[in-house]
Structure 1
Amino acid sequence: MRTLKYFLIMALPLFLISCNVSPKAINYGNDGCHFCKMTIVDKVHAAEIVTKKGKVYMFDASECMVHFMDEFDANEVELYLSNDYNEPEALIDATKATFLISKNIPSPMGAFLSAFKTKAEAEKVQAEKGGTLYTWDELLAHLKH
């Protein structure tokens, strides 16, 4: 009984650490995109998927994340994250973000797609750069047509 108790005390912290479901910092210039295999260098357009088991998939652009979803069981996903256009390297919840497709804002894979934390921030950039705004669901429908 004592051995079992000791095992549980020692194993529980390792189990909790190994199942950490959270974003992972992208090592720009070194980490590769899980979809297109390019090195992630753009700090404005990168994205991540975090599974319910804590596995992290990194992408050089939100459009790569969306296209990767075709090969992946969405029921396993805990988080969809995109870089915030206004705060490079900061990851935001892609399902709550507002996306702008503007030919005046290049993105790594040529979709001209940028994510914004709020609709107001997206509308401000849209007023300067042009383009079309999308919610997450609208973006998925647009990119998968």
Structure 2
Amino acid sequence: MKKNIITSIFFFGIILGCSRTPKSLEYGSEGCHYCKMTIVDKQHASQFMTKKGRTYAFDATECMLNHLKEIYPETVDLFLVNDYNDPGNMIDATKATFLISRNIPSPMGEYLSAFATEEAAKKVQVEHGGELFSWTEINTRFNQ
């Protein structure tokens, strides 16, 4: 019985250690890794986690994209962005749809917002205008 408990604890620890869940952002007190501004905007913040488990937080998606130009992106395991329509809810950036609209300001002035679905992004685009991008397309735009 005691051996089963120890084995269970051991495997539970391994599962937790292999988790792909970065730490929660501390809005209002945590600083952006790229520009050093305090992260307060729950509609535009982002973060990524490296394959070694280190998390980097950003006050805006554009800060994360600009930082990716300075590192090896292949070392990143998970990219997350806030869903514009669900502030504070982080979504997989590689599956998100991005909108650049001059009518929706973002913290660093790039007017970049992320949406969980293309349909959600299109609804906001109809109201505010702008151009839609996939993760690959937005990376290409920021790396030019």
Both structures adopt the same fold (TM-score exceeding 0.5) = yes
> Unpaired segments of 5 or more residues in structure 2?
1-6
Query: 1:3 — aligned with what?
Result: none
User: Aligned in 2, Cα 1:92/1:10: closer, same or farther, shift over 3 Å?
Assistant: closer
Residue aligning to 1:4: none
SS at match of 1:133: strand
1:23: which partner in 2?
22
The number of residues matched between the two structures is: 139
RMSD, matched Cα: 1.9
Q: TM-score, with normalisation over the residues of structure 1? A: 0.87
Deviations 1:41-67 (A, max 9, x none): 000000010111211000000000001
The answer (yes or no) to whether the contact 1:34–1:59 under 8 Å persists in 2 is yes
Residue in structure 1 matched with residue 56 of structure 2 by the alignment: 57
**2:83 equivalent in structure 1:** 84
Greater alpha carbon shift after TM alignment, 95-104 vs 19-28: 19-28
Q: Secondary structure in 2 aligned to 1:57?
A: strand
Q: Is the 8 A contact 2:44 2:81 kept in 1?
A: yes
For residues 135 and 11 of structure 1, do their structure 2 counterparts lie closer, same or farther at Cα, with a shift above 3 Å needed? Answer: same
Is the contact made by 2:82 and 2:89 (CA closer than 8 Å) also made in structure 1?
yes
The separation in 1 between residues aligned to 2:85 and 2:111, in whole angstroms, is: 15
Aligned to 2:121: 122
2:68 corresponds in structure 1 to 69
* Structure 1 alignment gaps of length 5 or more: 1-7
Paired with 1:123 and 1:11, the residues of 2 have a C-alpha distance of 47
